[in-house]
Amino acid sequence: MHKKIVTMSHITKAFSGVTVLNNVDFNIYEGRIMALLGENGAGKSTLMKILTGVYEKTSGEVFLNGESVHFRDTKESQEKGIAIIHQELNLIGHLSIGENIFLGREPINRFGKIDWKRLYQESEKWIAMLGLHESPKVIVNELSVGKQQLVEIAKALSLDAKILIMDEPTGALTISETEKLFSVIRKLKEQNHSIVYISHRLEEIFKICDDITVLRDGGLIGEVPVNEVNEEKLIEMMVGRRLEEQYPKADGEIGNTILEVKGLDNPFVKNASFILKKGETLGIAGLMGSGRTELARTIYGIYKMDKGEIFINGSKIHIKNPRDAIKAGITYVSEDRKANGIVLGMSIKENITLASLKRLSGILGHVYRGREEEVTEEYMNSLSIKASSSKQLVKYLSGGNQQKVSIAKNLFSEPSILILDEPTRGVDVGAKKEIYNLINKFKKAGMSIIMISSEIPEILGLSDRVLVMHEGCVSGVLDVEDANQENIMSLAVGKGV
Ligand SMILES: Nc1ncnc2c1ncn2[C@@H]1O[C@H](COP(=O)(O)OP(=O)(O)OP(=O)(O)O)[C@@H](O)[C@H]1O
Ligand SMILES: [Mg+2]
């Protein structure tokens, strides 16, 4: 028997009358890593926010080392040795790495002033531990999302907490950053710290966790040691049913070339050329930082192109900004949902329909006027957006459901070319499949899709052709029949096939 360090008992939580956690028990054991799993909206983040004092529970009790505790804010839980890395980044963009790490608890020198030297030295130590070798004086806005995530993790580590909660810490990390994080987690475990680890990537769970707690629809499904379950069993616990074929293959015809990119060149992308056909899904694979996002953003007009040409249906077009791209029928769904124009303070319905209200019909033949409500419902159903109604504000949705709203919003504009950048990041297995089905539905209706993804199985499962990038160059294009994990990885690291 392992020592229970935290026991959450009969936890119930309702937001304005809607129950999102129902009588949940949850344990954290000393020196062990507990995975907390469940679909988007299952209640994982909410449960951890209750533990750390961000939210007040409706009923139930929390025990720390056998003693009943009640934290009113994160400051109080921190004082008792519990730290949390939130799913959404909580950094202040215009401050430096060091200022962010020590925000609100800056070291003070003997003159009562902030001890900057110590602040930066300490910060450097924490970020270096995670393999981030930036100066701690660098402004956070200048860092990539992945590096910002590392700063967020360093900030939590620096609290030297006995219990560390990580809510999807690896979403934006590269493979090597993730490995580094895992070695830090293992070290913490050796020092008898306890960790709660939330992730939708099941392979990570099997790699580092000891036990697993599964939630479904706000209820507890069970707690099991990791070595007593396999992936299939876990999915069944989370989704409540077996998932057949995770990658539904779309039929539908592939037509002529709709987009041709020729010799595109700028500081991020080197001489990139490729074509995209009508009704085709082109997967873009590559390591993080290989220029995939930059290629997409250049086509979309966010980055300037220094050289190169873009043709749509054979005629050359000039894209100077995203507005030009949208006019040409191109839509880009960013990997960063905050950059997708999702307005947290607006409702789901407003977010999905606002940008496109003027339009009467799209390629699927919908007539929208007066039907916003209906169409929003349709999207909410087909993407399983979990919310009390279409009027719910997006800021109250779980992370994965916000991602789905952002996809729905962009699908709603029914572009002829849709570029999706990591569309299923942070999305649970069940909802992933729904997103795949939707991609296929649009593809069948004649839309052409470019899908950037770090998950090779997803690329292989959905694409007709696979373009691989390495250091800003297109290192190869494969027909999906000829593509596999090995030759994609080999192109991704620049070895060729
Ligand atoms: N402040 C809030 N007000 C109203 N409803 C909320 C609030 N916070 C969360 N919810 C609702 O509670 C439910 C659980 O959300 P939670 O964020 O805990 O899910 P999650 O399991 O972390 O999902 P994900 O994997 O998508 O991050 C969701 O239906 C969500 O809409
Ligand atoms: Mg969450």
DSSP string over 383-425: TT---S-TTSBGGGS-HHHHHHHHHHHHHHT--SEEEEESTTT
pLDDT at position 260 is 97
Residues 440 and 406 reside in one and the same domain: yes
Q: Give the closest ligand to the alpha carbon of residue 24.
A: 1
Q: How many CB atoms lie within 10 A of CB 303?
A: 17
CATH number where 179 lies: 3.40.50.300
- Residue 367, pLDDT > 70, answer no
Q: Which residue has the higher pLDDT, 482 or 375?
A: 482
Q: pTM of this prediction? A: 0.74
Of the three residues 239, 266, 295, the one that is the final residue of a domain is: 239
Residues 465 and 368 reside in one and the same domain: yes
Q: Which residue has the higher pLDDT, 312 or 145?
A: 312
Of the three residues 204, 239, 274, the one that is the final residue of a domain is: 239
Mutation pick for ligand 1 pocket among 39, 88, 398 (CB with most ligand atoms within 8 Å): 398
Which domain range does residue 124 map to?
A: 4-239
* Nearest atom (ligand 1) to Cα of 13: 12
Name the pLDDT band for 340 (thresholds 50, 70, 90): low
* Centre of ligand 1 from the C-alpha of residue 45, in Å: 7
Residue labelled with tokens 């007539």: 367
pLDDT at position 384 is 80
Q: What is the dihedral of CA 328, 334, 337, 340, to 10 degrees?
A: -20
- Residue 224, pLDDT > 90, answer yes
Mutation pick for ligand 1 pocket among 8, 13, 16, 20 (CB with most ligand atoms within 8 Å): 20
Q: Give the closest ligand to the alpha carbon of residue 238.
A: 1
Residues 298 and 184 reside in one and the same domain: no
Whole-angstrom CA distances from 155 to 47, 100, 103, 134 are 21, 7, 9, 15
Q: State pLDDT tens for residues 457-470.
A: 899 999 999 999 99
Q: Whose CA is nearest to atom 27 of ligand 1?
A: 399
- Residue 411, pLDDT > 90, answer no
Mutation pick for ligand 1 pocket among 397, 402, 427 (CB with most ligand atoms within 8 Å): 397
* Centre of ligand 1 from the C-alpha of residue 425, in Å: 17
pLDDT at position 10 is 97
Q: Whose CA is nearest to atom 1 of ligand 1?
A: 396
Is residue 308 situated within a structural domain? yes
- Residue 454, pLDDT > 90, answer no
* Centre of ligand 2 from the C-alpha of residue 44, in Å: 6
Instruction: Enumerate the β-bridge partners of residue 144.
Output: none
* Tally of domains in the chain: 2
* Centre of ligand 2 from the C-alpha of residue 50, in Å: 13
Residues 381 and 266 reside in one and the same domain: yes
pLDDT at position 361 is 46
Of the three residues 178, 210, 239, the one that is the final residue of a domain is: 239
Q: Please list every protein residue whose CB sits less than 6 Å from any atom of ligand 1.
A: 15, 20, 38, 40-46, 87, 386-387, 396-401, 428
Name the pLDDT band for 26 (thresholds 50, 70, 90): very high
pLDDT at position 337 is 65
Residues 335 and 194 reside in one and the same domain: no
Name the pLDDT band for 87 (thresholds 50, 70, 90): confident
Q: Give the closest ligand to the alpha carbon of residue 428.
A: 1
CA atoms of 480 and 468, how far apart (whole Å):
12
**Mean of the per-residue pLDDT values for the chain?**
89
| Cα 103 to the center of its chain, rounded Å | 25
* Centre of ligand 2 from the C-alpha of residue 435, in Å: 18
Whole-angstrom CA distances from 408 to 94, 114, 164, 416 are 31, 47, 34, 15
Give the mean pLDDT of 6-30.
95
- Residue 398, pLDDT > 90, answer no
Is residue 361 situated within a structural domain? yes
Name the pLDDT band for 365 (thresholds 50, 70, 90): very low
CA atoms of 170 and 145, how far apart (whole Å):
11
- Residue 48, pLDDT > 50, answer yes
